[in-house]
Amino acid sequence: MSANLTRRLRTAAAAVVLSAATVVPLALSASAAHAATRVDNPFVGAGVYVNPEWSANAAAEPGGSAIANQPTFVWLDRIAAINGVNGGMGLRDHLNAAVQQAAGKPYVFQVVIYDLPGRDCAALASNGELGPTDLPRYQSEFIDPIAAILADPAYANLRIVTTVELDSLPNLTTNAGGTATSTANCETMKANGNYVKGVGYALAKLGAIPNVYNYVDAGHHGWLGWDSNLQPAIDVIKQAAQSSGSTLSNVQGFVVNTANYGALHEPNFTVTDSVNGTSVRQSKWVDWNQYVDEASFAKAWRAKAVASGFNSNIGMIIDTSRNGWGGANRPAGPGPKTTVDAYVDGGRIDRRFQTGNWCNQSGAGLGERPKAAPEDGIAAYVWVKPPGESDGASQAVANDEGKGFDAMCDPTYTGNARNNNNMSGALANAPLAGHWFSSQFQELLKNAYPALGTSTGDTTAPTAPTGLAATATSSSVSLSWTASTDNVGVTGYNVYRGGTLVGSTNNTSYTDTGLTASTAYSYTVKAKDAAGNVSAASAALSVTTSAGGTTDTTAPTAPTNLAATTTSSSASLTWGASTDNVGVTGYNVYRGGTLIGSTTSTSYTDSGLSASTAYSYTVKAKDAAGNLSAAAAVTATTQAGTGTGGAGCTATYKVSSDWGAGFNADVTVTAGNTAIKSWKVTWTYAGNQQVTNLWNGTVSQSGQSVTVNNAGYNGAVAANGSTSFGFGGSYSGSNAVPTLTCTATS
């Protein structure tokens, strides 16, 4: 993400290592599917999810294994991210992995909700896929699916911490309303109210889930620390938290410094210091701000928010992923008291030219590692922005992610008046926002504070883990051990199979999967501490996996009472649950003898059918050993269509942008002389085009044949009226425009 420009008003008075493989969902009984008891601070007494994808990227970097076990937030920054992008893990995959890591203990899962219409109106590198008026899409295609997944009983025992819509509401305070820093995009978002409505909707939907803890973005001290900004920003957030059906109780706290670089503490000066009778607030760096670091700002924000009506138990979390400012340039003490600027500039930890420099900053380092309740008034230090993920590209890059180019990511840019026309401080050769940036990761390691490894002076290794024990199945080994101790605290454990590192965890348990049946494996575990020291290995443990499930030949019972209800284009099936000696893992659904889908529930909807047509369905249960039950069967006839068929609508296709390997296209659906209630557009590509993400409709693609049905909100079209949908796609070779067929019901 790339916003976090200084964005403040001024007046004459004052300036102002886990595997990335998808984890199979754990089956829960009805009695086990209960939410964890809500607590004031979800981080206390709980482990925190380690993202396997980020962990693998970190571990692949030289020196990266020292932090690869740290917990980071999962970012949902576009609709496609919910199900996973480019073969990566989706939200449900991450949650399943979190359940496995938790192993039944209190556990926090952290996720960023970040796809608001007109997102990040004062910047370019983190612009999103949704336009300023796309609130219905944001609600139905982004928030609703996320809420449905988070509410799954399989995840009820997790403490799910959300960071809701970074930068949006602070932008309304400093960059809209005719201020000196206003932008046209922010004025639009203030006028249409979609930031306030969207955040309110997200808080209401997510806050209704008992184990979700919502934290709203509160900018950072270099953005909202002025008197004219802080209280107005709280007021805007309060307005949003009471809109679209939400209440203030849906806000559990606030997050500051997300993806920014503000120092956690400035140890060498305070805002109340003076030099030769001149206040530190008058220095060029502080610029009349009331706060000089993130900790003091966060505590003041909390007090003012509670005074403004937010619940008295709200918590503050601080993103410390990139605000360490260690390395050779870290001041050893206060600056000289010759002038106030010399005093502040000589002693300040934050080495940026100005707090408005926000993109891929040179000299930045890892800050405090994530920890719960680290100081009074702070719920946790967290790593919202995963270290090594870019803030924005250093030059324009064509992409299908809706991300533009912001000159503040160009290291040669000197055109920002708010930066006094000095260099942006950005690193060169940066990729798109959110993409892996090895040079930045190495910069953060080099300048980490507290430093990594033994540079802190601590050479005392943790004690070796004891009591290593295991239980095995035919394909996995679940290990547990007794915690190690250390003078600076144990931060995690490395697990080795046959001397090879197979994973890391911050718990005292780990499950190794994908093993071979009837095979002996040897394991050892080592503890590591905050200084990077590694303990001696635990006593080795030899474990033999079981013979496997092939000896189980007992099939589940057949599903019972298979029934169907139909519309003109769909059949909704339901059945009674099957039973089995090793447990039913799901059901296969067949139409006319052909497998069309699988489900873990006892219902399934088959869509895209023809009106007035008989379809034959069978359903079979399957168990953990792979056995299939006998089939239950039913015949269902779809209802008669009431529309005009092919004459009911027409559709036109237009490629709006094409960059050689990918493209965006828009399709306009126009009703005929009769109003229609629903529509479907089909086509067959002549080339190898693939639809990757689509909005304002639901898509299915088989080979080169594509079918798009209307979304729930745009199926009804007035006579001779029109609606539209759009999508992004990929291809190689030809990108010829296909011939479309449109059918409708009226």
The whole-angstrom separation of Cα 280 and Cα 272 is 7
Residues 6+ apart with CB under 8 A from 476: 511, 512, 513, 514, 515, 545
Catalytic residue (one of 77, 217, 391, 406): 391
User: Within a 10 A sphere around the Cβ of 303, how many other Cβ atoms?
Assistant: 11
Calpha distance 562→89 (Å, rounded): 34
**What value, to the nearest 5°, has the Cα angle with vertex 515 and ends 511 and 516?**
150
CA dihedral 239, 245, 250, 255 (to 10 degrees): -40
CA distances from 737 to 19, 495, 666, 687, 741 (A): 41, 53, 11, 10, 13
Closest CA to 366 of 435, 441, 306: 441
Q: Give the angle 277-283-286 at the CA atoms, nearest 5°.
A: 125
> To which H or E segment does residue 727 belong?
strand 722-730
What is residue 628's DSSP assignment? B
Contact in structure between 77 and 88 (CB atoms under 8 Å): no
Strand partners, 534: 528
Closest CA to 695 of 645, 648, 743, 656: 656
CB 646 within 8 A of CB 610: no
Half-sphere exposure of 535 (CA within 13 A, CB side): 27
CB 119 within 8 A of CB 2: no
CB atoms within 10 A of CB 39: 15
Smallest Cα–Cα separation from 698: which of 686, 690, 706? 706
Tokens read off for 440: 């930045």
Q: Report d(CA 679, CA 708) in Å as an integer.
A: 9
Alpha helices in 214-309 (DSSP H): 221-224, 227-241, 294-307
- Residue 580 is among the residues annotated as catalytic for this protein: no
Give the 3-state secondary structure of 116-127.
CCCCCCCCCCCC
204 conformational bin, left if phi > 0, alpha if psi -120 to 50, beta if neither: alpha
The 3-state DSSP class for residue 198 equals helix
Catalytic residue among 93, 115, 120, 167: 167
CB atoms within 10 A of CB 520: 9
Question: Is there a catalytic annotation at residue 658?
Answer: no
Which residues 6+ apart lie within 8 Å of 45 measured at CB? 106, 372
List residues with catalytic annotation.
Answer: 167, 391
